[in-house]
Amino acid sequence: MSEVYQSEKRDIVLTGATGFLGKYIYKALIKEFNVITIARNNADININLTTEVPVIENADLIIHCAGKAHFVPKTDIEKQFFFDVNLNGTFNLLRGLEGCIKPPKAFIFISSVAVYGCESGLMIEESHPLNATDSYGISKIKAEQLIQRWCAKNEVICTILRLPLLVGENPPGNLGAMIKGIEKGYYINIGGGKAKKSMVFAEDVAKIIPDASKIGGIYNLTDGYHPSFAELASTIAKTINKKRIFNLPLWLANIMARLGDLIGNKSPINSMKLAKITADLTFDDTKAKKELNWKPNPVLQGFKIKLYR
């Protein structure tokens, strides 16, 4: 059953409010705006967007942050999860907005650089073709397209933020696993950890939203520096007082990868995974700097970590 949230003043509706990025967005906006949160639990509107349609009577700005985070699916059911959450959830949110007294002024969608479908590349721009072939990337592409059509139809300012690796105090996913590996002493750099990857502080993404919502457009957001794995690992190690990061020579990693190819999917490393780990993959945020006055903080500065023991 859908829930109705009533308030004298409604400015912003935020989906995914209890997620990693959603918490940062809520914290950044709550002081200046009335933020109506949507999530499965502990929100103003408790609802599963995958299967339910929210009732929203009025909103100036929609921030659609809810989504299934990227992971490597092992089954067809896991692949379908991305479409259920990222695409069907978006569709149900848009259905809910049809009940508004008037359309919102702006809509911000939190997307991903995964839509480009690139395993390697330097300074990839927003104009790059959307070549994703994996379920996660395709679900994000389809969600972007659905939102763009709806916003055009209803004359709503549409902003899409394509994000790389998100950095914060207690990050999920690969970065969280990296921090844990360094803390426990089993993380290793491969080939010196020279591969550069784009990253961005979740806090910086949250801060740019009010300005981005007024302008519209599609933007990559990065920290502007694009640190290497070795630089990031070193920063994390210093932050948690770990002195040594081990390194696996590339020649040895290649041998292990070839053995992994023979073993199959159960192997922790194979040639495909090794190529991805050792390749540069960075994205250009020049457009955001010019049009949004985007001034990100370098991830290697001010990096904070919370360890839960």
Number of domains within the chain: 1
Is the pLDDT confidence value at 1 over 70? Answer: no
Q: Output the pLDDT for position 307.
A: 55
257 domain-assigned: no
Strands 121-124 and 281-283: parallel
Question: Where is pLDDT greater, at 78 or 3?
Answer: 78
pLDDT digits (tens, 9 = 90+) for 240-266: 888 788 899 999 988 988 998 888 767
Q: Output the pLDDT for position 72.
A: 65
pLDDT digits (tens, 9 = 90+) for 199-245: 999 999 999 999 999 999 999 999 999 999 999 999 999 988 887 88
Rounded CA separation 34/13 (Å): 9
Mean per-residue pLDDT, 96-118 = 93
Asked whether the beta carbons of 82 and 132 are under 8 A apart, the reply is no
Is the pLDDT confidence value at 198 over 90? Answer: yes
Asked whether the beta carbons of 97 and 45 are under 8 A apart, the reply is no
Asked whether the beta carbons of 115 and 147 are under 8 A apart, the reply is no
Q: pLDDT class for 58, splitting at 50, 70, 90? A: confident
265 domain-assigned: no
Asked whether the beta carbons of 86 and 92 are under 8 A apart, the reply is no
Asked whether the beta carbons of 232 and 300 are under 8 A apart, the reply is yes
218 domain-assigned: yes
pLDDT digits (tens, 9 = 90+) for 21-39: 999 999 999 989 999 999 9
Largest CA distance in the chain: 65
Domain that holds residue 131: 12-168+199-224+283-291
85 domain-assigned: yes
Q: Output the pLDDT for position 202.
A: 96
Is the pLDDT confidence value at 10 over 70? Answer: no
190 domain-assigned: no
Which H, E and C letters describe the chain, residue by residue?
CCCECCCCCCCEEEECCCCHHHHHHHHHHCCCCCEEEEECCCCCEECCCCCCCCECCCCCEEEECCCCCCCCCCCHHHHHHHHHHHHHHHHHHHHHHCCCCCCCCEEEEEEEHHHHCCCCEEEECCCCCCCCCCHHHHHHHHHHHHHHHHHHHHCCEEEEEEECEEECCCCCHHHHHHHHHHHHCCCEEEHHHCCEECEEEHHHHHHHHHHHHHHCEEEECCCCCCCEHHHHHHHHHHHCCCCCCEEECHHHHHHHHHHHHHHCCCCCCCHHHHHHHCCCEEECCHHHHHHCCCCCCCCCCCCCCCCCC
Encoding tokens for residue 84? 């259920």
* pTM, to two decimals: 0.90
141 domain-assigned: yes
What is each CA distance from 264 to 8, 46, 248, 255, in whole angstroms? Answer: 58, 42, 21, 15
Encoding tokens for residue 210? 């009010």
Is the pLDDT confidence value at 282 over 80? Answer: yes
Percent of the chain scoring above 90 in pLDDT:
65
Match 């750099």 to its residue by tokens.
189
Is the pLDDT confidence value at 89 over 50? Answer: yes
List own/partner pairs for 234-242 with CB under 8 A and 24 or more apart. 235/299, 235/300, 235/303, 236/178, 236/179, 236/182, 236/303, 236/305, 237/182, 239/303, 239/304, 239/305, 240/179, 240/182, 240/183, 240/305, 240/307, 242/182, 242/183, 242/185
Q: pLDDT class for 308, splitting at 50, 70, 90? A: very low
Asked whether the beta carbons of 54 and 92 are under 8 A apart, the reply is yes
Q: Output the pLDDT for position 7.
A: 45
Q: Output the pLDDT for position 8.
A: 47
258 domain-assigned: no
Q: Output the pLDDT for position 104.
A: 94
80 domain-assigned: yes
Is the pLDDT confidence value at 86 over 60? Answer: yes
Mean per-residue pLDDT, 156-166 = 97
Q: Output the pLDDT for position 309.
A: 44
Is the pLDDT confidence value at 2 over 80? Answer: no
What's the CATH code of the domain at 163?
3.40.50.720
Question: Where is pLDDT greater, at 298 or 84?
Answer: 298
**Mean pLDDT, the chain, whole residue set:** 89
Is the pLDDT confidence value at 302 over 90? Answer: no
